[in-house]
């Protein structure tokens, strides 16, 4: 994959312009620009375009924005840099190209970071997701001492060795945008063009919802219902995966890895909500994480039985 | 495609001789190697390659290894250009030996029968194998050794990348491998999973991008320097430290030394650029530990202190790049990140202070209550329960360490309150340190505050040991509760596994007792602790902490501790065999006195004399089935030597008893050492097993008197040699 140099040396002026430029850059560099996954996830990695597609040997290149939710990070919209709902920009390429670092640096240039004036560093940071049964080696990337991205070479996902290895890039969009746009309070940064007729800041769009979710996440969410949701999702995931590969209705081989994985995502998010409600003790925590991991592993096992996962009849 | 042109410095073809010398340069160029791994990796590269070369017959004069975030480099000079041919003769079976024997010999030599020579030997005709190994070019050997090194490199963690299966710490991009001499240099032919060795390297990622060729180490180092790469980590660290101290000095400030951070930062840059900035005034009132920890852990900044105020007022960051604005943009960015971090820190600090200063009974009640929900260990209960146990035990210990029991108990109850604070949640390594600040803020006695920061200590054999009585009481209770608790649930250390750091806890008890010279009856404390664990934990009935077993564990750790101080294990065993061995201070006093005396001639010989007396006596006692414990009567003494021994024992006994009473074991041992002469003389002149039963019995009782007199300090039978 050849590196294409960025065409926009000017600094971006809004949050959305950073997203648009990242999308344009990675599109130019050969990625399929996907849309966010339509479920509540804790991080961009949960998108099946990353978790499932990093399995098996079929080549893959995708980039997408993923709205993510971490209920415990809620601050009622009052924090300058923490929200329970936030955005990640995710790039996943399999096999990882030899010039992935250069491609990544090109993307920073595309969003207005001048390498001649800034200090970019790759600082050891190994990634592990106990809920996904996944780990990889890589770095957090620093720009002038601030972490702007995670850069990971996946070694294992859902308990499966990644062969070939996928390269994963995750940009924390709010922090990155605050830095590039020069705002200490993320709520104040322009979401759209600040000179447009109806300028909107990040806070205009999210502050109120943040307060609402914080209240619900911390104090109102019905834990009995959530516990039931967790168990339902777990049971449904198992039930889906128990089905025979061949659809009895038409005789076609249809391994339902992704619908099963949806239930895994659901269970994971419900667990995060229960955690925010403070009803999960330290010991139970490990047990819940283990249960989600078991689902993720079962889904990974199923995915490698699909064509996209490398199964051949 | 045109034929490749020879490199400008290509070495002319010639036959290499084993006496020719060459230099070898290897560089393994990869994506960023974690800073903490670089130093060991460069040493591993040096060892693996040079060992491999020597094993293959290539000796060398010297080798040096270097590392940067993106490369491991090895320079070997004075390398033999080829290995010497080796001729080896091996004697095989006789020519008339069974076919099997010959087959085995052929297999082991790799030869065929017609290559063997039959020679006459003493016992007849014998097969001889002459194996000739021709000398090999250095280049062949280097290629082999380097490939083996790369494929088996001992990274703490390694990875695959792309579609390949090679493992390295991060993707490996280039292998530079050239052998050079006065005539020129050549690339060692080597290809590892598609990476072909060459003579090219790359400069600084941003300041000097692009590849260039090098011919030898000097050329390599010089060109890299021009390409903004300092290959020697020591040079980078020295440069950083010099620039940092100069920048600070120019403003009348001083850099807080941090060797670990310096080494780490030197491993994060190829071209260090040191920048100093001021900490926003809004954060200068934060505790120094908070500033330092936040800056070191999150930003890898050095702290810069103002010697006049004693406060941390500036920071030093090390960038990897020179910029046209002399780092102004970089510094501004770093300052902003720091301010955001410190804003969090300040937020935690202020919230915590509110809790600390709140008028609750007990102080910091919210934090203490919250600890009821924090599990210490499933079977040992919550942190709150643990604090209850430690508080009860602290009260028991306090009188023995001259601490006020009320103050000590209060300290124990508050020492872990900061575990609930926001600051400690963010920076776990500040536990105790923050507790001290918060307890002071609550207006409580300074001894109580100090105990919060000191009660985790000592954390190792070289750590400072608390001396303030209240701190000592809480520190001891903390560790004894840990030992007793984990013993009760049968989680003792086994082999190399010690997940709850119980060896460290035991060593902590030993250091606290010994360094403060307290005379503590540990058995009583362990029994008390065991009782408390039984009452205030979730330990079921079967859970029982055997005090004897814990004492044995403490004695084992004491042996290790004293061995490092040069006291032999048999000396300690001899003292452990005495009563009152749960008083570690007393035990060590005995051991030191005994060890000192054993260093003298008299002492060494006294042991021999004692053992001789003891052996004879034990043998006779066993034979006769009686113990000769009566007081011997001097009137049955026959020779002068025997009479002299009687007198000497009486005299020594008169000196030893009061000395032992006064725990002056040195004096007691000195008095014993005097016995060496009379005992030796006695054995020289006197036959114990006399014909007269009365005399014999009396002499055996005399030997018993030696045994008793010399047994007051230690059980000398345990002394080896």
Chain segment B589-631, per-residue pLDDT in tens: 999 999 998 898 888 888 888 998 899 999 988 888 888 888 8
Predicted local distance difference test score (pLDDT) of residue B119 = 87
Beta carbons of B162 and A123 less than 8 Å apart: no
Mean predicted lDDT score pLDDT of chain B: 91
pLDDT score for B112: 85
A180 within 8 A of A18, measured Cβ to Cβ: yes
pLDDT of residue B354: 95
Question: pLDDT, tens digit, for every residue of B140-192?
Answer: 999 999 999 999 999 999 999 999 999 999 999 999 999 999 889 999 999 99
Mutation target for B interface from A58, A61, A98, A124: give the one with most B CBs within 10 A.
A124
Element (H, E) at B27: strand B21-30
Q: For strand A32-33 and strand A60-69, is the pairing parallel, antiparallel, or unpaired? A: parallel
DSSP category for residue B276: E
Q: How far apart are CA A153 and CA B160, in angstroms?
A: 8
Q: Which pLDDT value is given to residue B16?
A: 53
Q: Report pLDDT for B541.
A: 52
Name the E strands within B279-378: 302-305, 312-319, 375-377
DSSP string, B470-512: HHHHHHHHHHHHHHHHHHHTT---BTTB-TT-HHHHHHHHHHH
Dihedral Cα B415, B417, B420, B425, nearest 10 deg: -20
Does position B498 have pLDDT exceeding 90, yes or no? Answer: no
Contact: A119, B325; criterion CB under 8 Å: no
Beta-carbon separation of B340 and A101 below 8 A = no
At A137 the pLDDT is 97
- Closest residue of chain B to A56, computed from CA coordinates: B163
**Mean pLDDT on B388-401:** 95
Q: Which residues of B touch A120 (CB under 8 A)?
A: 206, 320-321
Inter-chain touch B332–A117, beta carbons under 8 Å:
no
> pLDDT at residue B216 above 70?
yes
- B412-449 tens-digit pLDDT: 999 999 999 999 988 889 999 999 999 999 999 999 99
In the predicted model, is pLDDT for residue B66 greater than 90?
yes
Report the pLDDT averaged over residues B696-704: 90
B321 touches chain A (CB under 8 A): yes
Residues of A in contact with B206 (CB under 8 A): 115-116, 120
CB-based contact B338 A145, cutoff 8 Å: yes
Distance CA B612, CA B591 (A): 22
* Position B376 pLDDT exceeds 80: yes
Minimum-distance CB partner of A165 among B162, B269, B320 = B162
What is the longest distance spanned by two Cα atoms in chain B?
116
Which pLDDT does position A2 carry in this prediction?
46
- pLDDT band of A113, cuts 50, 70, 90: very high
Of the segments A23-37, A276-290, B78-92, B364-378, which one has the largest average pLDDT value? A23-37
Among A81, A145, A124, CA closest to B277 = A145
Contacts of B672 (CB under 8 A, 6+ apart): B597, B606, B652, B656, B709, B710, B712, B713
For residue A134, the tally of other CB atoms under 10 A from its CB is: 27
First to last CA, chain B: 81
> Does B497 reach chain A within 8 Å, measured CB to CB?
no
Determine which of A64-73, B242-251, B467-476, B614-623 has the lowest per-residue pLDDT on average: B614-623
As a whole number, mean pLDDT of residues B529-553 equals 75
Handedness of CA B500, B503, B508, B513 (dihedral sign): positive
- Minimum-distance CB partner of B31 among A101, A145, A164: A101
The SS3 of residue B136 is coil
**Phi, psi values for residue B130, rounded to 5°:** -110, 110
Which of B319-333, B534-548, B641-655 shows the lowest per-residue confidence on average (mean pLDDT)?
B534-548
| B193 at interface of A, judged by CB pairs closer than 8 A | no
Q: Is A146 in Cβ contact with B333 (below 8 Å)?
A: yes
pLDDT over 70 percentage in chain A: 96
Residue B403 pLDDT: 96
Mutation target to probe the B interface, by most B beta carbons within 10 A, among A75, A114, A115, A122 is A122
Please tell me the least confidently modeled range out of A226-240, A264-278, B343-357, B483-497.
B483-497
Q: Which of B69, B162, B336 lies nearest to residue A96, judging by beta carbons? A: B162
One-letter-per-residue 3-state SS of B522-590 = HHHHHHHHHHHHHHCCCCCCCCCCCHHHHHHHHHHHHHHHHHCCCCCHHHHHHHHCCCCCCCHHHHHHH
pLDDT interval class at B3 (50, 70, 90): very low
Determine phi and psi for B368, rounding to 5 degrees.
-65, -40
Average pLDDT over residues A60-84: 94
Tokens at residue A35, please?
């849309």
- Among A111, A129, A93, A94, smallest CA distance to A10 is for A111
**pTM score:** 0.80
* Interface contact A153-B161, CB threshold 8 A: yes
Predicted pLDDT at B4: 43
Q: Does B333 touch chain A (CB under 8 A)?
A: yes
Alpha-carbon separation of residue B307 from B281, B300, B315, B433 (angstroms): 17, 22, 14, 22
Integer Cα distance of B582 and A22 in angstroms:
70
pLDDT of residue B686: 87
Q: Label residue B411 by pLDDT band (50, 70, 90).
A: very high
- Residue B538 is predicted with a pLDDT of 61
Interchain contact, A98 vs B173, CB within 8 Å = yes
A122 vs B321: CB contact, 8 Å cut-off? no
Which residues from B are below 8 Å from A117, CB to CB? 323-325, 329-330
ipTM: 0.93
Determine the residue of chain B that is closest to A102 in CA distance.
Answer: B205
Cβ of B162 and A95 within 8 Å? yes
Determine the distance in angstroms separating the CA of B331 from the nearest CA of chain A, rounded to an integer.
Answer: 7
- Determine the 3-state secondary structure of B72 from DSSP: strand
pLDDT number for residue B12: 46
Reading the block at residue A155, the tokens are: 């070694």
Quick check: B482 contacting A, CB < 8 Å?
no
Chain A residues lying within 8 Å of B165, measured CB to CB: 163
CA distance A119 to chain B (A): 6
Sheet-wide strand order for B254-255: B254-255, B302-305, B312-319, B273-278
Q: What is the mean pLDDT of residues B74-95?
A: 89
Chain A residues with CB inside 8 Å of B332's CB?
Answer: 144
The count of other CB atoms within 10 Å of the CB of residue B35 is 20
Contact A165 B206 (CB under 8 A): no
Q: Quick check: A144 and B160 CB within 8 A?
A: no
Rounded mean pLDDT of A22-45? 97
Mean pLDDT is lowest, of A205-214, B235-244, B487-496, for B487-496
Query: Which residues of chain B have a CB within 8 Å of the CB of A118?
Result: 321, 323, 329-330, 333
Report whether pLDDT(A178) > 90.
yes
Query: Residues A305, A308, A309, A313: is their CA dihedral positive or negative?
Result: positive
Least confident of A149-153, B80-84, B106-110, B393-397: B106-110
CA dist list (Å): B494 to B52, B490, B500: 37, 11, 11
pLDDT of B718 strictly over 60? yes
Residue of A nearest to B317 (CA): A145
| Residue B2 confidence class, pLDDT cut points 50, 70, 90 | very low
């Amino acid at each position: 994959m050849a590196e294409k140099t960025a065409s926009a040396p000017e600094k971006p002026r809004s949050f959305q312009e950073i997203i648009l430029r990242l999308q344009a850059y990675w599109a130019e560099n050969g990625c399929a620009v996907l849309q966010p996954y339509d479920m509540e996830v804790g991080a961009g990695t949960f998108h099946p375009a990353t978790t499932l597609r990093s399995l098996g040997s079929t080549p893959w290149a995708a980039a997408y924005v993923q709205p993510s939710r971490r209920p415990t990070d809620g601050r009622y919209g009052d924090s300058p840099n923490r929200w329970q709902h936030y955005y990640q920009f995710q790039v996943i390429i399999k096999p990882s190209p030899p010039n992935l670092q250069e491609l990544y640096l090109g993307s920073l240039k595309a969003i207005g970071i001048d390498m001649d004036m800034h200090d970019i560093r790759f600082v050891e940071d190994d990634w592990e997701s106990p809920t996904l049964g996944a780990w990889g080696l890589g770095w957090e990337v620093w720009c002038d001492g601030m972490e702007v991205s995670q850069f990971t070479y996946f070694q294992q996902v859902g308990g499966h060795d990644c062969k070939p290895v996928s390269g994963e890039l995750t940009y924390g969009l709010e922090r990155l945008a605050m830095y590039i746009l020069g705002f200490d309070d993320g709520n104040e940064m322009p979401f759209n063009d600040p000179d447009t007729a109806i300028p909107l800041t990040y806070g205009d769009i999210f502050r109120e919802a943040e307060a609402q979710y914080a209240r619900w996440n911390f104090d109102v969410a019905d834990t009995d219902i959530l516990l039931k949701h967790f168990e339902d999702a777990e049971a449904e995931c198992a039930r889906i995966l128990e089905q025979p590969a061949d659809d009895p209705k038409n005789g076609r081989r249809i391994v339902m890895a992704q619908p099963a994985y949806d239930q895994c995502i659901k269970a994971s998010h419900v667990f995060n909500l229960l955690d925010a409600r403070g009803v999960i003790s330290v010991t139970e925590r490990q047990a819940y994480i283990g249960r989600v991991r078991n689902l993720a592993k079962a889904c990974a096992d199923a995915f490698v039985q699909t064509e996209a996962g490398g199964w051949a009849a | 495609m045109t034929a490749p042109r020879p490199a400008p410095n290509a070495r002319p073809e010639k036959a290499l001789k084993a006496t020719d010398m060459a230099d070898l340069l290897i560089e393994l160029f990869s994506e960023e190697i974690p800073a903490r791994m670089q130093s060991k990796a460069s040493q591993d590269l040096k060892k693996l390659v040079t060992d491999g070369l020597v094993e293959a017959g290539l000796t060398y004069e010297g080798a040096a290894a270097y590392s940067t975030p993106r490369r491991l480099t090895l320079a070997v000079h004075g390398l033999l250009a080829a290995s010497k041919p080796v001729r080896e003769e091996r004697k095989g079976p006789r020519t008339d030996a069974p076919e099997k024997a010959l087959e085995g010999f052929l297999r082991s030599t790799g030869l065929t029968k017609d290559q063997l020579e039959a020679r006459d030997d003493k016992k007849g005709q014998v097969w001889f194998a002459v194996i000739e190994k021709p000398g090999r070019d250095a280049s062949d050997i280097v290629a082999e050794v380097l490939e083996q090194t790369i494929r088996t490199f001992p990274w703490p963690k390694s990875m695959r990348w792309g579609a390949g299966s090679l493992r390295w710490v991060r993707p490996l991009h280039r292998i530079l491998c050239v052998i050079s001499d006065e005539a020129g240099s050549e690339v060692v032919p080597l290809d590892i999973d598609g990476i072909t060795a060459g003579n090219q390297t790359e400069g600084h990622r941003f300041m000097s991008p692009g590849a260039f060729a090098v011919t030898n180490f000097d050329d390599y180092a010089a060109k890299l320097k021009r390409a903004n790469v300092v290959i020697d980590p020591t040079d980078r660290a020295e440069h950083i430290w010099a620039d940092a101290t100069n920048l600070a000095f120019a403003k009348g400030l001083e850099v807080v030394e941090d060797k670990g951070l310096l080494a780490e930062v030197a491993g994060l840059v190829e071209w260090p650029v040191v920048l100093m900035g001021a900490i926003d005034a809004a954060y200068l009132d934060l505790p120094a530990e908070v500033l330092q920890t936040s800056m070191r852990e999150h930003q890898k900044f050095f702290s810069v202190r103002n010697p006049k105020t004693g406060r941390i007022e500036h920071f030093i960051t090390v960038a990897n790049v020179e910029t046209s604005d002399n780092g102004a943009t970089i510094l501004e960015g770093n300052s902003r990140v720091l301010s955001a971090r410190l804003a969090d820190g300040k937020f935690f600090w202020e919230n915590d202070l509110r809790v600390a200063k709140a008028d609750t009974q007990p102080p910091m009640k919210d934090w203490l209550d919250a600890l009821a929900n924090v599990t210490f260990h499933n079977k040992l209960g919550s942190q709150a329960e643990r604090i209850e146990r430690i508080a009860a035990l602290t009260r028991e210990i306090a009188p023995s360490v001259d601490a006020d029991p009320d103050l000590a108990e209060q300290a124990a109850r508050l020492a872990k309150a900061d575990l609930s604070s926001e600051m400690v949640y963010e920076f776990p390594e500040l536990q105790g340190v923050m507790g001290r600040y918060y307890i002071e803020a609550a207006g409580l006695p300074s001894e109580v505050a100090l105990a919060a920061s000191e009660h985790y200590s000592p954390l190792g054999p070289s750590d400072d040991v608390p001396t303030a009585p209240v701190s000592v009481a809480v520190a001891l209770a903390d560790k004894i509760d840990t030992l007793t608790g984990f013993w009760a649930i049968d989680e003792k250390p086994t082999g190399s596994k010690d997940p709850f750091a119980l060896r460290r806890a035991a060593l902590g008890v030993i250091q606290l007792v010994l360094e403060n010279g307290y005379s503590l009856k540990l058995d009583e404390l362990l029994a008390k602790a065991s009782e408390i664990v039984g009452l205030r934990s979730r330990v079921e009935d079967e859970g029982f902490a055997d005090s004897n077993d814990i004492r044995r564990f403490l004695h084992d750790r004491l042996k290790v501790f004293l061995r490092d101080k040069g006291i032999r294990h048999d000396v300690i065993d001899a003292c452990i065999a005495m009563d009152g061995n749960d008083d570690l201070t007393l035990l060590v006093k005995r051991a030191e006195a005994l060890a000192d005396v054993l260093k003298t001639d008299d002492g060494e010989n006294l042991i021999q004399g004692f053992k001789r007396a003891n052996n004879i006596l034990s043998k006779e006692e066993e034979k006769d089935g009686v113990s000769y414990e009566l007081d011997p009567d001097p009137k049955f003494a026959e020779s002068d030597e025997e009479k002299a021994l009687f007198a000497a024992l009486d005299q020594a006994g008169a000196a030893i008893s009061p000395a032992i009473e006064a725990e002056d074991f040195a004096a007691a041992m000195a008095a014993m050492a005097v016995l060496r002469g009379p005992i030796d003389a006695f054995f020289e002149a006197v036959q114990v097993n006399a014909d007269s039963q009365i005399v014999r019995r009396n002499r055996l009782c005399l030997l018993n008197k030696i045994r008793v007199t010399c047994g007051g300090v230690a059980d000398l039978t345990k002394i080896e040699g």
